[in-house]
Structure 1
């Protein structure tokens, strides 16, 4: 059930933080994956191994989808599936920054049921179970109520705001960015920014946990064209992400399509 799963995810995330911190003063053996998929370090792999062991031993019947594990079709037949990014924001980790996160979620029948995003160096643990609200370090959080894009704040990469992406007109919003997608989603969930948008195809492990945290914080979370997000797909990727309260989401979507 989601509540018991959430307790498991919280414990696993904190243990992942301990593992990752142990590598901060060690050689990281940075390598780059094929097809421009970005860097991977010894820390990413160590955290992945830890999470696979901890979560898999607790829920041996759950499937497994992780950025740092070979994907197999076995997860498609599982009733519930762990969707994991061992370190979201690996470049930040390599650069000695603090805005990297562990992103862990449980999906069932395409929906995320429990989720945690944990930033060990900032001591920020975002958590949600379906129907139970979203919390940051145990305190309830909620998205902003801004109704119009004009004058609002949004987390997005700079190319997102090129004129050609906005047939309905580029919104007059203040743009900011964080390398970790999971952290971007979580920042909107706690109301520090009004919206989050990425137009690029997005891997499920980057957004699964953050999507539930945002939804439970009162946001509407869809792909870039307004379609609902579903998880544990055969090709684990979505067509971008748009997230904000329902009114602001509608305003932004009208400008995009």
Structure 2
């Protein structure tokens, strides 16, 4: 089982990766390097840092990273860290945008037991060791957070069925934490994600008292042979039943 120190460890390494990424941004700005290269350089350096910190701090655990080769030994491991070195590379490469994140999560028996989501642009890291307090429900229209460029079928259905307004934002981590922070009410995604996109955000969301599941309400399961996990629902708990009903068949 996860140890108390695992929560702080996850938060610490996610925060360190975020600080590195801010430094990479500053380096590119100072040297005039092509901003199109910033995405790849940020991913590369953050991945190397996180893998090194995990190897030093949790050498017996397996790791699944978006930026690393998949070692299938993770499938029989008791503890698997699932990381996304930069979630929202597009937003990361567009300073001063802050809607990007670093994800670090620990999975045991297909369930995330530890999670940390760093929002470096906001100098904030949310984690399961000190779950954030969920703000009171919003009195206004439902705020449905969606992609900056393509809202997606799930967001469109929620607006049509439940009413409300779209809140456009970058990475999955930033969208999920917008609900934790009280800036949005529902995040529903369909059309393709991988385990590293949702694992840490779902862990933090659940720890904060939010609902997190597949669109049909079934549990999110991690450390599968194929890490493709195409859909996600994170929302305030009082909205879960209505959202699941609205999304049936999407």
User: Which range, TM-score by smaller chain?
Assistant: 0.7 to 0.9
For structure 1, which runs of at least 5 residues remain unmatched after alignment?
Answer: 32-38, 136-140
> What TM-score, normalized to structure 2?
0.87
SS at match of 2:187: strand
In the alignment, the residues of structure 1 paired with residue 144 and residue 8 of structure 2 have an alpha-carbon distance, to the nearest angstrom, of 31
In the alignment, the residues of structure 2 paired with residue 198 and residue 153 of structure 1 have an alpha-carbon distance, to the nearest angstrom, of 14
> What TM-score, normalized to structure 1?
0.84
CA displacement 1:119-146 (0-9 Å, x = unmatched): 12211111114xxx613xxxxx216546
SS at match of 1:229: coil
1:29, distance to aligned residue in structure 2 (A): 7.6
Root mean square deviation, CA, Å: 2.3
Evaluate the alpha carbon distance shift between residue 198 and residue 134 of structure 1 in structure 2; reply closer, same or farther with a 3 A threshold.
same
- Please identify which structure carries the higher helix content: 2
Say whether the 8 Å CA contact 1:143–1:188 is kept in structure 2.
Answer: no
- Please identify which structure carries the higher strand content: 1
SS at match of 1:134: coil
1:162, distance to aligned residue in structure 2 (A): 7.4
Counterparts of 1:107-256 in structure 2, within 5 Å, are 107-129=107-129, 134-135=131-132, 141-142=133-134, 144-145=136-137, 151-157=141-147, 158-160=151-153, 165=157, 170-256=161-247
Say whether the 8 Å CA contact 2:194–2:230 is kept in structure 1.
Answer: no
In the alignment, the residues of structure 2 paired with residue 249 and residue 80 of structure 1 have an alpha-carbon distance, to the nearest angstrom, of 29
1:62, distance to aligned residue in structure 2 (A): 0.8
Evaluate the alpha carbon distance shift between residue 218 and residue 73 of structure 1 in structure 2; reply closer, same or farther with a 3 A threshold.
same
1:177, distance to aligned residue in structure 2 (A): 2.0
- 2:62 is the alignment partner of 1:72: no
1:138 alignment counterpart: none
1:231, distance to aligned residue in structure 2 (A): 0.8
Say whether the 8 Å CA contact 1:114–1:212 is kept in structure 2.
Answer: yes
In the alignment, the residues of structure 2 paired with residue 122 and residue 41 of structure 1 have an alpha-carbon distance, to the nearest angstrom, of 22
Provide the aligned length of Structure 1 versus Structure 2.
Answer: 238
CA displacement 1:221-257 (0-9 Å, x = unmatched): 1111211101111111223111223331110111121
1:35 alignment counterpart: none
Evaluate the alpha carbon distance shift between residue 255 and residue 83 of structure 1 in structure 2; reply closer, same or farther with a 3 A threshold.
same
In the alignment, the residues of structure 1 paired with residue 210 and residue 78 of structure 2 have an alpha-carbon distance, to the nearest angstrom, of 26
2:105 alignment counterpart: 105
Say whether the 8 Å CA contact 2:152–2:190 is kept in structure 1.
Answer: no
- 2:9 is the alignment partner of 1:17: no
